[in-house]
A and B are shown apart, each in its own frame.
Chain A
């Protein structure tokens, strides 16, 4: 396993409370690599996302993540009364993006998902599909070292899917971990690296896909 991996699990066990959800799991993703994690409902996909985001502690094993992570959750929450640009500027100020680069970062992330025309509108006015684009743009904001996308294709129309594909293709320095249920058509976005099927550990793949 490479020491320059952006994301690495070693014998990672995921649990909720005292209940073991999945694992032990092994995975390593380097910069520029993409990986797809699948599994049926309840197999621990969201738990894995939360663990990678640092919101819950792993039940065992080692989990190594970079400092800057962009996460597009399955059910995104937004300040609906705020405009996209105000909200994103706040997020950029919260992160480590230098003030001089914030305007450019904001513009780039909005452009990636064709959100420029909605920049000054309250988020509450956006449709579900546009909010999903905003969810993805938020994950891209600030050029994270690791992108974690939980069912990113949800609610996206073909144009949105194109945007997502293009945005993924434009990434060179970040690793991408996509989490999706089995058979929802995310195979085009990344090669399968991990199958969380009913907690069976021996199906774990070891390598990410090189772009």
Chain B
């Protein structure tokens, strides 16, 4: 099995694959972390590194298609009557190459002369959805990672007689003391972080107002030490996609290159983060259809969150969603190993 997997991996890499990977990771690390060229942000680096599994997905589709034209299905049927060796070897090859890419991507940050990201926190503007007397409702645009908090700048000038401190609470009764002249930090409760919706109330009749353009969401920014975890999450996002490709091409017996495109867009849907207002999109109805489809999938956006602002959704995938996502992959792999009867 391992020889078969290594052979497939060698075919996947082709003549230039290894050099493309090495060159790509070196370039990505330079433009991300070099002291003069980069801005020490992990997000873009993750985005560049994510191109490797995407390339593998398409390369695998192309190669499976090519193998079909080269008579592999016949040889598989003759030599592997139970039909599980080839799909498992293909999956193993993809896994090996993805882990190889992950290791190289992780090590690239250790190269001397690069600046390792130090973490910290990022701020995001927040839109106020509703404002009633003494109450504010915020839409944070989806789930917020652990440790997220809202920063509110309050206008105390209308309160008569003047007050220096007031308790701000949410509907569940959680309270934080706000002090005049200081930004109110509201640590998001579990439900608030999960739903991305926050409703806060000032004491009734106090005329405490909010400087609406100054509302911000603060999210912890992963540092260099979190890179391995982030790369692993990215790999876990792609593994089920690879299995689905194998299932479609083998059990579904569709053209593997077509299956690769279908899986690519399926992954895009799983990673899709809908805009707060769907009407903003050119085709609102289509966005709604995709949103419906997306809600039928486990929330795995947090696994593949990359690019600038990646910390906004990074790590928002729950263990349950991850288990379901991986279970989809296992099912797909089982299906790929199931040989269809001759017709």
User: Which residue from B74, B77, B80 sits with its C-beta under 8 Å from A73?
Assistant: B74
Residues of B within 8 A of A70 (CB): 78
Question: Which chain A residue lies CB-closest to B5?
Answer: A93
Q: Dominant SS at the B interface? A: helix
Task: Determine how close the nearest CB of chain B comes to the CB of A44; give it in whole angstroms.
Answer: 16
Given the complex of chains A and B, what is the CA–CA distance between A70 and B70 in angstroms? 16
Task: Determine how close the nearest CB of chain B comes to the CB of A132; give it in whole angstroms.
Answer: 14
Residues of B within 8 A of A82 (CB): 11
The reply on B177 being an interface residue by CB < 8 A is no
Task: Determine how close the nearest CB of chain B comes to the CB of A119; give it in whole angstroms.
Answer: 16
Task: Given A71-B74, A78-B71, A90-B7, check contact A95 B80 (CB 8 Å).
Answer: yes
Task: Determine how close the nearest CB of chain A comes to the CB of B311; give it in whole angstroms.
Answer: 44
Q: Size of chain B's interface in residues, with CB distance under 8 A?
A: 24
Residues of B within 8 A of A138 (CB): 75
Contact B71 A55 (CB under 8 A): no
Task: Determine how close the nearest CB of chain B comes to the CB of A70; give it in whole angstroms.
Answer: 7
Residues of A within 8 A of B75 (CB): 91, 94, 138
Given the complex of chains A and B, what is the CA–CA distance between A57 and B71 in angstroms? 19
Residues of B within 8 A of A76 (CB): 71
Question: Which chain A residue lies CB-closest to B66?
Answer: A79
The reply on A67 being an interface residue by CB < 8 A is yes
Q: Size of chain A's interface in residues, with CB distance under 8 A?
A: 30
Residues of B within 8 A of A68 (CB): 78-79
Contact A90 B4 (CB under 8 A): yes
Given the complex of chains A and B, what is the CA–CA distance between A135 and B70 in angstroms? 12
In the complex, chain B residues 41-80 whose Cβ is within 8 Å of any chain A Cβ:
66-67, 69-71, 74-80
Given the complex of chains A and B, what is the CA–CA distance between A70 and B79 in angstroms? 8
Question: Which chain B residue lies CB-closest to A138?
Answer: B75
Contact A93 B4 (CB under 8 A): yes
| A-B pairs with lowest CB-CB distance, top 8 | A77-B71, A95-B79, A93-B4, A93-B3, A79-B70, A57-B342, A90-B7, A94-B79
Known pairs A71-B74, A94-B76, A144-B78; list 15 more (Cβ under 8 Å): A53-B74, A53-B78, A55-B74, A57-B341, A68-B78, A70-B78, A76-B71, A77-B71, A78-B70, A86-B7, A89-B7, A90-B3, A90-B7, A94-B75, A142-B79
Q: What are some 5 contacts across the A-B interface (CB < 8 A)?
A: A55-B77, A71-B74, A91-B75, A93-B85, A94-B75
